[in-house]
Each structure stands twice: as C-alpha cells, then as structure tokens.
A and B are shown apart, each in its own frame.
Chain A
Amino acid sequence: MATAVLMPKLGNSVESSIIVSWLKHPGESVTQGEFICSVETDKAVVDVESPANGTLLDVFFKEGDDVPVQTTIAVIGEAGESVEGFRPGGQTTASAAAPDTPVPSATSPTPVIPVRSSESNDTKAISPRARGLAERKGLAWDDLNGSGPSGRIIERDVQAALVNRPKMTPLAQSMVKAGDFAAPAQGSGSGGRITTKDLIPRGAGEVEATPTAAADEVEIIPVKGVRKIIAERMLNSMQTTAQLTLNASADARSVLDYRKQLKASAKELGLQQVTVNDLVLLAVSRTLLQHRSLNSLFYGDSIAQYQHVHLGFAVDTPRGLLVPVIKYANRLSLSQISNEAKRLAAAATEGKSSPSDLEGGTFTVTNLGSLGIESFTPILNPPQVAILGVGSVQLKPVEVDDSLEFIPSLALSLTINHQVVDGAPAARFLQTLSQNLAQIELLLAL
C-alpha cells in the first residue's frame, strides 16, 4: 500500500510552502525518517521526512512550486504501484507522461485537497466593479489580496491598494493614463515610487518586454517565498493599521560603560559577546512590564494584553527580513537574552529557523544602528501594536549646569498602532525606557 507525502503545515498561519529542492528523486529508495525534500515557508526552511520505507514513486510538484499545506506532494510505495489515486486534482505534475489507466479516485486513501481559487493567480476572482475601478485607475490587481467571499477581490481591496499605492513618476502616470499600461502595487523607484520600468503592459503576453528597458538590462526576479510574504505583510501592515512614530533619545553613557565592563570581563563568564542591542532588548523586556498596553496583540474586536514579553528582533538574512522571537524575555538574564539572540539570529541567517522560532512575538525591536542609521520609521508587525526602532549612538549636546556637554545618545523610534495605543502612553513608555537605559545597572539589579 502506497503512502502519501503531504506538504507539512509549518505553523498555524502557514497556508502554503515552496518546495526548495527535491533531495530524493522518483525511483530512489527511501527509509522512514529520511529527508526527501526541503520546503520553505515565509519563516523557515524545513526538510520533509519520508513517512515510510519504500521507493519514491512519483513527485507531483517541481522545485519552486508553491504548494498548499496538506497537499500530497509525493508518493512512497513499492516499485510499480500506481500513484494516480494520489495525484492532487488539477495540479501540474513533474512527470510528463500521462498514465494509461487512471485509478478511480474513489480508491484514493488520501482526500484530494483542491487548490482554493484565492491561492491561484490564474483563477483569481475579482468583481466587475473592482476590476473596473482598477482599470480606470491603472492599477494591476493580480497581486491584490481579495477580502471578499472565497478571496474575491472586491471594491474595497482596490480602494485600499489605491490609497497605499506609491506615487508614480509623471512619465509613468501619463503612460498609465494613456491606457496601455497598468501600475503595480509597489514601485521600485525611490520611496517605492512607480517608474516607467515598473509598468505592466496591458494584455501582457503579447508584449514581450517593457518599453523602457531591453530584456538583457533587467533581471527578472520572481516574487515568492519570504519576499512575497514580506511584501504582503508590509503592505497589509500599512493598509490595516494606523501607524504613528514617536522619536526620542536615551542617554547612552550607562549602556556604553556597562558594555565596556562586559567586554573586559573574564572570558569564562561568557559575557564578552554581549552587544549594545542585547542591553536594549533587556531594557525593553523589563520596561514593557510597566507598560503592558504596548505588549499587546490587536484582533480588531479584541486586544490580547500579555503578562510576559515575547520579544521579536529583526534579523537581516540572505532571504530577507526575519523576526525570531525570544520567548519569556522578561524572565531571562542579560546573558540568557544575549545567548538566545545569537542562537536565533544564526539559525535565521542559515535558513534553519524552526517555525516556532518565528512565532508568538508580542513586541519587536529592530536595530539599524550598526549600519549608521540615525533614525527611521519602523513598520508595525501586526497584530503587534508597537515596534521599537534603534538607531546609532550619536553625540548630543546637553545643557549641564549652565554649560553644554556632548553626551552619547541612543536614537529610539517607536511606531505604535494608534488604533489601540494612544500617544501619551506610548510617550510614557519611551520615557521610562530612556530612563532605564540611562541607569542600566539599576535595571540589572532588579
């Protein structure tokens, strides 16, 4: 009896994953537990184990295919066994030859899970009204997420996309108006501006290249996997929340002094690698306990306020931005925080994060200070209601006893979801955080 290999569900919110590579190929024998392919979600790359001993009879998807979870991707069995009962309905297959004698699907041991139309661009549904609006405004709707029944794109989706649509260059605007081109939701110009090279020819397929660039000047990179998820999440964040950013700075002398002491500490203590960012994470994890309204998740009709801090921190990886989560950060010591941050960052960079590493955050810290950024506007990671951006340390003139002193300061930018968090509580959080950073030794004593 053959056994189906299903696309695993890697986390609660994961609906599909991309097959990165097939480690085994049809005809090869496999043992139970042996890896047969790698799949990638927006958060992690995971190897899929064989559920049985036998021969890999067939695979139903190519590398690079985006496959809904719980879909049969391959079949393990005895050589010569038919696999037709397992083939997902309507899917393209990796094997070219069509079977001569199809097995009636009634004998299939696993239910065939059809691909929902909302997940397939080919059959993406859009209401006539939404389509009309998109066309009048020159908006390409293929990449929009539909909020109508069964994922149908409806008017409000187009309107939201129009509101958030980046500005267009004047030339791009006139080309769209002329009717031959549609504008994508995101542009590649500065600040996301849509330039002529972003434009999508109407009736694509007939037109082979964009008018402004020859094919060899441009590398076309398909948007998928982590990049696709990031694109959707970022846009979704901007569309669905009311973001407000507050800027402040903290006296960094205490933090820098303490960091010096750590660097100078005995190697056996294992504290030499503690970074300024680790100290900031520690301060945030403690400060949030006094400002729980920022340690919350917002679900539209309810707000979940957390007693413990599960602290996400942004990591720049080759695949794109990932946010691993330090669980119960408020209970961890500085060295524990530091070690956990290093472990999680390394896994993310190597593409080895487990789905649980990337889930469950209640607040996020993103630090661009090491790249010399003085100040920036972080984008919320919904349903979280706040995110802290940390800039570089700068000397700041401060009036001390009638004279000016230049003291090192840490730039802090807090973006909040103003739907849930008012300005004053956010400001008070920043104020407490600044004080805590300015007296980091006291915080460590608590």
Chain B
Amino acid sequence: MTKSLMINPDDVRKPSVIQTVEVPVNAYVSDPYLESQKYGSENLVRMYRDMVFIREFETMLDRIKKEGVYEGIEYNHKGPAHLSIGQEASVVGQSFHLTPDDFIFGSHRSHGEILAKSLSSIHQLSDAELQQIMESYMGGKALRVVEKFSKKSIKDIAIDYVLYGTLAEIFGRDNGFNRGMGGSMHAFFPPFGVMPNNALVGGSADIATGSALFKRVNRKPGIVIANIGDASMGCGPVWEAMMFAAMDQYHTLWGEGGAPPILFNFMNNFYGMGGQTMGETMGYGILARVGLGVNPQAMHAERVDGYNPIAVADAIERKKRLLEAGEGPVLLDTITYRFAGHSPSDASSYRDKSEVDLWRSQDSLISYREYLKTNEHADDSMLDAYLSDIQGRLVSVLKAAASLDISPRVNGQSDDIGQMMFSNKFKDRMAEGRPEVLIPREESRLKTTLAKHRFGLKDGKPLPKLQCVTFAEALFEAMAHRFYEDPTMVAYGEENRDWGGAFGVYRGLTEILPYHRLFNSPISEAAIVGTAVGYAISGGRVVAELMYCDFMGRAGDEIFNQMAKWQSMSANVLEMPMVLRVSVGAKYGAQHSQDWSSIVAHIPGLKVMFPATAYDAKGMLNLALRGTDPVVFFESQRLYTEPETVVESGVPTEYYEIEMGEPVIRRNGTDITIVTVGATLYRAFEAASELETKYGLSAEVIDARFINPLNYGPIIESVKKTGKVVLASDACERGSFLHTMASNISQLAFDHLDGPVAVVGARNWITPPAELEDSFFPGKEWILDTIHERILPLSGHQVTTAQGTHEILVRNQLGI
C-alpha cells in the first residue's frame, strides 16, 4: 500500500542538493587481445559477415528503388525503403549477446535490426529448432520457396529464409513474414525475438516497455530493447514510456523481481529526417544526458560508439545483466550515422557532403575490416568471400521475391485482408498456470456483490441502490472472474489500486491482487495504452483504463495506430487480448464530458462496445475479457451507480456472455423504431412512453450495445416493420457513428422507409456546464420533436426544441 510510503515534510522540506551519477560517454576502450580472448576469431569475423550482409541487402534495395535493377534483375518497388546504410555496426553489435528470448522492437529504419537479430539467433539455435520454426511459421510457405534455391545447411537455408521473408514482406507479398501487411517499416519475425517495427517515431518505446512488463509480471526470460531514433526523444509517448519504466513502485511495492527489463536504445544518427537533433532541434547536447532527469540511476545511461560493433556488444552485455537483475530501465545513446538519405527521395539538403565523407572515411565496414586483418582474425580473401556470398544469395532471393508466380500477393479482391482484422478467438486464459491472488474468491468482495439484489426494481418500484448490484459492481464481477481465471491478466491506469479507479469499479480488486497484477500508473495515457499494447502482443491479457473518454486524445497514436492495427499488420501472427476501458463523462464540462465513441468507430481493427445496463456491463465485459481482440469498452458515468432495471431476470451471479455484435430489443413496438447507443437508452424509453400515452404510437426501442462489430439484422427487421427510425446517442451529431448506421439502414431498408432515417446527437458544441447540459445532450423532447418534424407529424404535438430539416442546413452552414 502506498499508505506505507510516508511523505514526511521533515524529509522533503530539508535543504540539500541533487548529486548525480556520472554518465559515461564512449567509455569503451578496445583491447584487441582481450577481445580476441573473449569472442574468438570466428565470432568477430561473423560480426563482419553480418555487417556485410546487411550492407548489401540495403544496397540492393537502394538500387531497386533508384535504378529499378540489381544484378540484372529488374523490379519496381512502389513502397517505402528507409535505409540504414552506415549503421550496420550498431545493430550487429547489439544483437551479439542477445538470445531469441530477448526482444527488439524497432522503427521505420529497422531492416538492419531484423537481419542482425535473426542472424544472431540462427547462429544460436539448433538445426532442429530452426527447422521447426521455419516449418511451422505460416505453414512453412516461405520455407517452401527458399528450399528450391537454397540447398545448403539448415543454417544456410535459415539465412536465405530470413532474407527472403524480409524482402517478400518489403515487396508486400503473401510469403512475407507478415503476408505483406507490414511492409518495409513494420516487418518483424517473433520466433527470432524480432518484434514489431513501428512507423511512428518513438512508437516502439511504450510498446516495448509493455512487453518488458509482460516479461516481468509473467517471469519470462530475456530483456526487451526499444530501438528508437534520436529524434524520438522529442516525442511525448517516449518520455511517458520512460516514466512508466522508471516507477519507484517496482522496488518499493512489488516485492521481488524489480523493474521491467526495458532498454531504451536510441539509435542516434543525429538526424530526425532532415532535422539535426544535435545542435538544431534538441537541446540535450549529448542524448544520454536525458537519463539524468529520469531517476537517481540516470537510467544507467551511456553514450556508446555505434561505429564499433564490439563497443556496442560490450554495452549490451553489461546492460542486459542490470536488466535481468531488475535494475532497469536503461538508456543507451548509440551513436551512428546513415550515409543513405532518410528515404530515396531525400536529397540531403540539410547536411554537407563533406560531413558524409568524414563519416564514410570511418565507415565501420572499412575500419572493422582493418581491425580484423590487423589482428589476424581474417584475411582479404576470406572477407571478400562474404560479399560474393551475400550477392549470390540476394540474386536468388530477389528473383523469387520479385516473381508474382513464386511470391504472389494477398488477394485484395477477396476478403483475405478483412479476415486479418481480428483474431476472433476466445481463450479462458492466455497461458496455463495458477493465477497469483492474495485471497480466495470466496473471501473477496464478490461475496458482497453477489449477495445483493440482482434486479433493481420490486413490483415496479426501485429498491435502494446500495442493496442492489450496480453497473460498476457488475463490471467488478467480470474483472474479478477473469483475474481468478487468467494468470497473465493485469490491469492498470490512474489510481486503479487502493482507490479502485476514479469511479470505484475496481473496489475490492486491491484486496484480491498482488501489485504486479493491479497497479497505479503515472498519468501517462499514451504509455497506459501503449504498454498495454506491448503487454498484449507479448502474450498477456491486459485491461487498461482511461479515466475519461476525453483523454483518448492523449493516447491517440496508441489507440488508432497501435492497438487497432498490430493484429492485421502482423497478419494475425500477434493477438491483442486487450481491453481499454473508457469512462464517458457528464457534468464536467468541455474537456471531461464528450462521448468519443464515434472516433474509434472510424478506426479499422477495433471492437467497440458500449453497454447501457448492468446486465450488459457484466456480460459484455466478460465477452471482451475472454476474447483475443482489442476492445474499446465505453462506460457511461451516468450509469455506474445504477442497478439493472431493464432485464427483469437481473444480473446473473454466474458467468455469462453477451453475443458479439448483437443489438437487443429493449421494448417491442410496431409504429416507430428508436435505436440508441449508450446511456441515451433511458431517454429513448421516456420518449417511447410518451409516444404511447400521448400519441397512441407503439415505439420499438433497440439498444445497439455494440458499435463494431454490429449485426444490423435486428435493426433492419425492426425498420422493415415500422418504416420509421430515429437514432440517438450522446455523441456530437457531426461525424457521429449514428450517421454510418443511418446510411446503412437507408441502404438496407430503403423501400421500407416511410421517412428519412433521423439522427439525434449532441449539439456540435463544447459540452457546456452541468446546469446547461440539457441544451447539449439529447433528451426525450429532442427525440419526439425529431419524429414530429422529420418523420411523422404527431397530432397536437408542441415542439420545444429545434429539430427541423431547416436546422440541419443552417447549423452546417455555420459549422455548429
């Protein structure tokens, strides 16, 4: 408990100065004799081989991109190629001490990292292990191609396999490591510990941190490296990830195991695209200095000479030991330099040719070759042979990858890509094992909630809310259930522990769970979501919480580009068993009370749920928590304290799930259909009652519950019956998901419509103060007036709000 961590004024008010540790800069001193002893000629030469392989692979891509031909093989590559020519020593040195259990996450410029880590893993793995990996990965598709031209040893085949799998991926082919869905900037291969490379600058920082969290929580071997660029130090999520990784609680509260084993490795080539980080766009002077600002250990930061592979290998070896001891996080400032431009279109207008020439004169392929020759590890003929070896391999690999017969693309005309959007699996637990809990289920708060009234009405009258299981408690029951089932499951967010979340949904979980399964994060929405993404794709179930819907903007990239896309960008190699609980506010004004459900509806790859009753809250969270897909789970703050008042059987005490994507008819009717999303349901009930008592109309009320996926069947069936439909939700009207729904209904039930499909959303304003919310959020009268004005004039009805079609024109013209 943080209660045990006293903030003593006597201590914190005492004068003192901050003493900092020293940050080593290029401290490695080469000792050829010791290096020879330690590594042996074979390994030292293999590092050179790997550097040559990477250099030539990217030289090939450069030629293809610029000249359309390599060694007489013509190919037109439409997609990107961000090359790292010049940076080979930094990646080969890094991979030397890493095992397949160690994960690297990279950037848009990570071809070299993929190859270096794979070549290192191939060296370490047995033939049987390699054979098994290549046979089982995507059914051995890529292996079948490589076998045709690669008739050497298993390790040789494995090298060609990596070259081909990577190149086919860059070329967008079905045989690529990610069926072409990742491409150059995203290619990866988990069996060798090569995890997703990310096209968002710094995008890997929080994801890699989450992966390290997975290793820490589930006690998995290996460390995790985020290979990100120097320019990413300007990105908020990178800082958030470092704060998340450096939390004191790993040492003060979590017990044995220490901090997640995360290494933030800044591949510092001094340029962020065309912006020069040192001297122009940053102020840190030496990037490693930033570690001083993060924790007393300065993140064990160092600047390492990335032009010397042995210096890098040495740093990684030392840092890996620290990380395995739980003493992370670590920051490395690995300096390097790319001779190539940012991309083929880069004319290098931001740097002088003489600068490039200076670096070229120190090219690691030249200097390290000299080192090997000087110290008699190899001679010219031996070293030259690697170039002709790789060129020979690349000719075969390029021929195969360029051929549409050998390497077809995914069929874009079929629904192959659509089927990659979700994994659509259901798993009681993401790994076997006994879930770590502090008390048995029977002693938990479940015994209190399960004993409450399960339905909030008796003889039509409301029971005291405290005696009934509420919406929030229904969510708690679902969370508790899965925590007792799935040993990998963790949950975190702002004040999730002790407080139980700002709205008390997790009240009772603190007593059940050890710290590493439920903890408070920093107020770092990007890191909360981004680490959850990393945790999930590493194989664990995770529930991240955003206190208010409005804070989704703070985690925009993590929700829209990471959480949503990694399953499909990996061609379903990865699963994303992640639920993002998002609380939708009211009464708290413009920045705490907007319903943003429509924004995520627009992003492919997310499942979006929005329960409106306690019964659904539990049943839908149960569903989300057993699935393997990313779910954005919206909860209205209007409902947390509400018992179930709609489903008469009440909230079941036992486990149950709501069927995925199924809307539910809440009230049967024949004359008009009202479809709602979220808490607007209850205002629709009021409207339906008035339609019946005042106007003799029987309204059918449908609670969509799901935004994606969504089965339109029951909605269309209802509209075919009634011919009239109003859609209502608390989301702002412009761009509301309801317009998508309206468009679909218009197309699916056009001939049955007796009037236009009308959408009732919140005004396109800021959410005003609580006292004025009636003018902003749709109420009963809005629904009635809309029916009267646009669909079916109600005899004797007096409108009190402006819902005519004229308003649509005027408001849009004004942009409000």
Contacts and interface: CB of A to CB of B under 8 A. Distances in A.
Interface of A: 127-130, 132, 147-149, 152, 154-156, 300-301
Contact of A301 (B723, B795, B805): B795
What 7 A-B pairs are tightest by C-beta distance, nearest first?
Answer: A129-B754, A129-B723, A127-B754, A155-B754, A301-B796, A154-B754, A128-B751
B795 A148 contact: no
Given A127-B723, A128-B750, A155-B723, A147 B755 contact: no
Interface string B762-777: 0000000000000000
Contacts of A300: 795-796
B793 interface: yes
Contact of A129 (B752, B793, B796): B752
Contacts of A301: 795-796
A301 B791 CA distance: 21
24 contacts: A127-B723, A127-B753, A127-B755, A128-B751, A128-B752, A128-B753, A129-B723, A129-B752, A129-B753, A129-B754, A132-B751, A132-B752, A148-B754, A148-B792, A149-B755, A149-B791, A149-B793, A149-B805, A154-B754, A154-B755, A154-B792, A156-B792, A300-B796, A301-B795
Interface string B787-816: 001111101100000000100000000000
B183 to A, nearest CB: 45
B795 A129 contact: no
A130 B754 contact: yes
Nearest to A154: B754
A149 B723 contact: no
Contact of A148 (B750, B791, B796): B791
A324 to B, nearest CB: 31
Contacts of B723: 127, 129, 155
Interface string B736-753: 000000000000001111
Contacts of B790: 149
A299 to B, nearest CB: 9
Contacts of A154: 754-755, 792
A145 to B, nearest CB: 12
Which residue, of B750, B751, B791, B792, has the highest number of chain A Cβ atoms within 10 A?
B792
A130 B792 CA distance: 13
Contacts of A152: 755
B192 to A, nearest CB: 59
Nearest to B750: A128
A147 B793 contact: yes
Interface of B: 723, 750-755, 789-793, 795-796, 805
A128 B754 CA distance: 6
A285 to B, nearest CB: 32
A376 B805 CA distance: 47
A162 to B, nearest CB: 15
Contact of B751 (A129, A147, A148): A129
Contacts of B791: 148-149
A148 B751 CA distance: 17
B796 A149 contact: no
Nearest to A150: B805
A152 B796 CA distance: 18
B755 A148 contact: yes
Contacts of B793: 147-149
A379 to B, nearest CB: 22
Contacts of A129: 723, 751-754
Contacts of A155: 723, 754
A283 to B, nearest CB: 36
A179 B750 CA distance: 22
A180 to B, nearest CB: 21
Which residue, of A128, A132, A147, has the highest number of chain B Cβ atoms within 10 A?
A128
Contacts of B751: 128-129, 132
Contacts of A130: 754
Contacts of B755: 127, 148-149, 152, 154
Contacts of A127: 723, 753-755
Nearest to A155: B754
B796 to A, nearest CB: 4
Contacts of A156: 792
Which residue, of A129, A152, A155, A300, has the highest number of chain B Cβ atoms within 10 A?
A129
A149 B724 CA distance: 13
A130 B751 CA distance: 9
A148 B756 CA distance: 11
Nearest to B788: A149
B487 to A, nearest CB: 55
Nearest to A147: B793
A132 B752 CA distance: 8
A148 B758 CA distance: 14
A329 to B, nearest CB: 31
A212 B791 CA distance: 41
A149 B796 CA distance: 14
A180 B740 CA distance: 38
Given A127-B753, A127-B755, 12 more contacts: A127-B723, A128-B751, A128-B754, A129-B753, A129-B754, A130-B754, A148-B793, A149-B755, A152-B755, A154-B754, A154-B792, A155-B754
Contacts of A132: 751-752
Nearest to B787: A149
B471 to A, nearest CB: 38
A129 B791 CA distance: 12
A139 to B, nearest CB: 15
Nearest to B719: A129
A154 B796 CA distance: 18
A329 B791 CA distance: 44
A202 to B, nearest CB: 17
Which residue, of B751, B754, B790, B793, has the highest number of chain A Cβ atoms within 10 A?
B754
B744 to A, nearest CB: 16
Contacts of A148: 754-755, 791-793
Which residue, of A130, A147, A154, A156, has the highest number of chain B Cβ atoms within 10 A?
A154
A394 to B, nearest CB: 43
B618 to A, nearest CB: 39
A317 to B, nearest CB: 34
Nearest to B746: A128
A156 B697 CA distance: 12
Nearest to A153: B754
B756 to A, nearest CB: 9
A154 B750 CA distance: 14
A129 B723 CA distance: 7
Contacts of B789: 149
A147 B796 CA distance: 13
A113 to B, nearest CB: 16
Which residue, of B723, B750, B790, B805, has the highest number of chain A Cβ atoms within 10 A?
B723
Which residue, of A127, A132, A147, A148, has the highest number of chain B Cβ atoms within 10 A?
A127
A426 B789 CA distance: 38
A311 to B, nearest CB: 29
A146 B256 CA distance: 77
Nearest to B790: A149
A378 B126 CA distance: 104
Contacts of B754: 127-130, 148, 154-155
B447 to A, nearest CB: 54
Contacts of A147: 793
B449 to A, nearest CB: 47
A319 to B, nearest CB: 32
Contacts of B753: 127-129
Nearest to B804: A149
A79 to B, nearest CB: 41
A333 B789 CA distance: 50
A155 B671 CA distance: 11
A132 B753 CA distance: 10
Nearest to B755: A127
A152 B755 CA distance: 9
A130 B790 CA distance: 15
B750 to A, nearest CB: 6
B675 to A, nearest CB: 17
Nearest to B752: A129
A156 B695 CA distance: 14
A153 B723 CA distance: 13
